[in-house]
Structure 1
Amino acid sequence: MYCHDRNKRARGGARPRRLSHFVSLLSVALFCLVASVTSAGTASAHGSVIDPASRNYGCWQRWGSDFQNPAMAQLDPMCWQAWQADPNAMWNWNGLYRNGSAGNFPAAVPDGQLCSGGRTEGGRYNSLDTVGAWKTTDIRGNFTVKLYDQATHGADYFLVYVSRQGVDPSKQALKWSDMQLVKRTDRYAPSQNYNIDVSTSGYSGRHVVYTIWQASHMDQTYFLCSDVNFV
């Protein structure tokens, strides 16, 4: 059922059914209102990698205005399972972080849980660890990670990893030993947009770019998986 076409569906029918149509229409309208408020309210906090898009940001970007479309199951099955598991993982695309990691990230985020930040936020983002053919962004050996920080937290540093050649993230859960560190930055002053230039070689095909953002305002760390295809 779609928010945008419910009015059309509710117009027909015999007179005795009008009350039931009205109740149904009202229910859908309330649902759409709640979804809109939730989406608007969460968009003002924290941030994420927007290019190459993190898993949940990409799902929100592609389907946020059409998240009830059953065609998603065939067109974008990894996003479909994520929306079914917990829509708030997409509405809160900018809230995938952990507090208090103290720089010991493998202790805070176990193998197999890298994309959910160690099942952070009560398991809201668990679906992002699901193994499968997530939609990819085409990139080259030299690429730029673009991160949006609406809360202007700043960064003590960024770490950018790429999954090793031969590791297929569409068939196996990611482990720390699968990841190669390709970039460590210095501090970034508070801003809303950060560009991290990365230079690599030897990668081809499907990989995951894994960005760790250590925010400056407190010990708050973001763990962000972006599915890419090196061309």
Structure 2
Amino acid sequence: MHALTPTRRLTIRVIAPVLAGIVGLLALFMSPWNDSASAHGSMVDPASRAYSCWDRWGDDHMNPAMEQEDPMCWQAFQENPNTMWNWMSLFQENLAGNWQSKISNGNLCSAGDAQSGLASSLDTPGEWTTTDISSNFSMHLYDTASHGADFFEVYVTKQGFNPATDALGWDDLELVETTGSYAPAQDITFDVSAPGRSGHHIVYTIWQASHLDQTYFICSDVNFT
């Protein structure tokens, strides 16, 4: 066996950390939803909290400017960026329709801490970035796995609720739409009407997937104009 020359030792010392860095980046940015076994979905319009943060900052999440420009996404990324990489995974299984027995007040936006400690930052009240909508608006679900839906229930916070200061509870919500079933598709859209509101509100969507008893709980921040 030949001894390594100083040049070869230096080359290995340089290349090894570079390769380790590349492997780490690949592990970080490999999207778990690219694997069909773990593929899921979420509301992309109006955008869910996790999707909205990922959409704006996923490629730039180390940018210190986020702390000032988008403080709610900043605190979520700081707690655990996997909350954003897994923006499609805010679901619980085998609830049999008993939403409130599993999703407690103050934990609605994390789907009852669906990601085991990773998503609790989504419940933090604050100035979340909003999507402008009118009283009549459309919902757009993007579902890479094409689960379909038994139904959607759409709730909107009551006038007077303040998402900037108040933790979301079930009594803060008004049911405004219950849909029928939808066949499996990657994109599902439907219309909703929620009159009598202005300013920052939360649209809370419950999506009952049709492939098994898998229920998604999704907060979307909106601004009624």
Common fold by TM > 0.5: yes
Contact (CA 8 Å) 2:148, 2:183: kept in 1 or not? yes
In structure 2, the partner of 1:4 is none
Q: CA RMSD in A?
A: 1.9
Contact (CA 8 Å) 2:138, 2:190: kept in 1 or not? yes
Map 1:1-231 onto structure 2 (within 5 A). 25-38=18-31, 41=34, 45-231=39-225
Q: Distance in 2 between matches of 1:125 and 1:187?
A: 28
Q: Write the letter of the residue equivalent to 1:97.
A: F
Q: What SS does the aligned partner of 1:114 have? A: coil
Size of the aligned set, in residue pairs, is 215
Cα pair distance change 1:27/1:77, threshold 3 Å: farther
Q: What SS does the aligned partner of 2:61 have? A: coil
Gaps of at least 5 residues in structure 1 are: 1-16
Contact (CA 8 Å) 1:161, 1:179: kept in 2 or not? yes
Contact (CA 8 Å) 2:33, 2:39: kept in 1 or not? no
Q: Distance in 2 between matches of 1:177 and 1:99?
A: 23
Q: Write the letter of the residue equivalent to 1:37.
A: M
Q: Distance in 2 between matches of 1:30 and 1:153?
A: 32
Q: Distance in 1 between matches of 2:130 and 2:74?
A: 15
Instruction: Work out the percentage of aligned pairs sharing the same amino acid.
Output: 53
Q: Distance in 2 between matches of 1:40 and 1:178?
A: 32
In structure 2, the partner of 1:11 is none
Q: Distance in 2 between matches of 1:141 and 1:103?
A: 28
Q: Give CA-to-partner distance per residue, 1:31-84, whole Å, 9 cap, x none.
A: 322222246646870100000100000011001111111111111111111111
Task: State the TM-score, normalizing by the size of structure 1.
Answer: 0.87
Q: Distance in 1 between matches of 2:152 and 2:123?
A: 21
In structure 1, the partner of 2:7 is none
Per-residue deviation, 1:25: 4.5
Higher radius of gyration, 1 or 2:
2
Contact (CA 8 Å) 1:47, 1:94: kept in 2 or not? yes
Q: Distance in 1 between matches of 2:117 and 2:214?
A: 17
Per-residue deviation, 1:166: 0.3
Per-residue deviation, 1:101: 1.1
Q: What SS does the aligned partner of 2:64 have? A: coil
